[in-house]
Amino acid sequence: MEKIKMTTPLVEMDGDEMTRVLWKMIKEELLLPYIDLKTEYYDLGLENRNATDDQVTVDSANATLKYGVAVKCATITPNGARMKEYSLKEMWKSPNGTIRAILDGTVFRAPILVKGIVPYVKNWTKPITIARHAYGDVYKNTEIRVSGPGKAELVYTAEDGTEVRELIHNFDGAGILQGIHNTEKSIRSFARACFSYAVDTRQDLWFSTKDTISKKYDHTFKDIFQEIYDTEYREKFEKLGIEYFYTLIDDAVARVIRSEGGFIWACKNYDGDVMSDMVATAYGDLSMMTSVLVSPEGVYEYEAAHGTVQRHYYKYLKGEETSTNSIATIFAWTGALNKRGELDGIPELSAFAKKLEKACIRTVEEGKMTKSLSLISTCEHPVILNSLDFIRAIRQTLDTLINS
């Protein structure tokens, strides 16, 4: 078979630990034999981030803005232990945080559904995609531990010096305080990313906040979404027969559980953080969750939702066998290749990506899987494979699909 040609390079962001090991296997077994792979390579492994004073992360994000599509391997976010382990010059920031700040994006997470891995919520027959606003709120907060009696106020000073003051609380003893913010600009980008993604994937969009309690803060999110829907997206939605639906988060939670899935649930930063873990777990397994960062300009960065699988990596280093699930990382590649195919008008590239996804799903449905999947699969006699053999089993299925 002749290899599929690409015209524009994908931005390839390599990463750390076990996922870095899988990355190489995926390329060698599942991509390079079929595609004349064109990538601009950035090594975001912690050693190279340290060596470049994290410039490589910034460069990779800028390259993503230039080319439009990136695929990213999981990376270590340094903490105290990693400082020692890698003799770091500094506790470098989370690469995902840096990339998100440069692309100003919204993160969409969706589970990969496979027969035999039954969601804990039995009526969820279609995927639920969580769209998490990735700016502000409690993640960029200011906190004070109040030591004793006193008055706390919220003060805004405009550039011309005028002040707005609101009493927060008259403390009669010790307590705690928290200041959070968001910007209209970021909320608007979030809304546009959600509406565009809904149009792109032809799914309904749900949005929920606590606007009944938070009459200015959360209500602003609700109002901005409604305004952008009415002025920019209503017609597109109606044409596609999809729906935009706002409801209070309490109501959303109840409806999500009763639903059959198949929609996007847009959440504020904290809600999205918590709900995406709930949804991922309820669908069965974190290693079956994909993630894509979409910027308001339509730039895409694909990755797996899980981390670098450190525990498996230490086993691998000791020469022990590992059974790490590569599916979410493979889907990061297929998401990116499919998008590149769409943007560059290379249908065979998109078709290959779809086939590779199908091969992953079929391999598991035929009973060949990694250990963590076998623990939750209803398959009676699963064949448990190690990391490399699982990838090779997917390759076999892929070849069957290609030759059929």
Q: Which residues of the shown chain bind ligand NAP in the complex (CB under 6 A)?
A: 74-77, 96, 286-287, 303, 306-311, 324-325, 372
Nearer to ligand NAP, 219 or 392 (CB): 392
Q: What is the DSSP annotation of 153-177?
A: EEEEE-TTS-EEEEEEEEESS-EEE
Complex with ligand NAP: residue 351 or 376, whichever CB lies closer: 376
Helix (H, G, I), strand (E, B) or coil at 137: helix
Question: Are 183 and 136 within 8 A, CB to CB?
Answer: yes
277 binds, among Mg ion, ligand NAP, none (CB under 5 to 8 A by kind): Mg ion
Residues of this chain that bind Mg ion (CB under 5 A):
273, 277
Taking CB atoms, the residue at the shortest distance from ligand NAP is 307
Task: Give least dist CB 66 to ligand NAP, A.
Answer: 22
What is the C-alpha separation between 69 and 66, in angstroms, rounded? 9
Residue 21 amino acid letter = V
Distance CA 165, CA 153 (A): 7
Nearer to ligand NAP, 75 or 182 (CB): 75
Indicate the residue among 104 and 303 with the shorter CB distance to ligand NAP.
303
Instruction: Give, rounded to a whole angstrom, the gap between the first and last alpha carbons of the chain.
Output: 13
Residue 309 binding result from Mg ion, ligand NAP, none, given CB thresholds of 5 to 8 Å by partner type: ligand NAP
Please state the closest distance from residue 311 (CB atom) to ligand NAP, in A. 4
Residue closer to ligand NAP by CB (options 330, 349) is 330
Q: Which of helix, strand or coil describes residue 333?
A: helix
Judged by beta carbon, residue 271 or residue 303, the one nearer ligand NAP is 303
Tell me the C-alpha to C-alpha distance, in Å, between residue 330 and each of 121, 316, 335, 339, 345.
26, 20, 9, 14, 22
Give Cα 129 distance to the centre of its chain: 10
Name which of Mg ion, ligand NAP, none residue 273 binds, using a CB cut-off of 5 to 8 Å depending on partner kind. Mg ion
Q: How far is the CB of 102 from ligand NAP (least distance, A)?
A: 16
Judge residue 226's burial from the number of C-beta atoms within 10 Å of its C-beta, 0-12 exposed, 13-18 middle, 19 or more buried: middle
**Smallest distance, Mg ion to C-beta of residue 47, A:** 27
What does 64 interact with, of ligand NAP, Mg ion, none (CB < 5 to 8 A by kind)? none
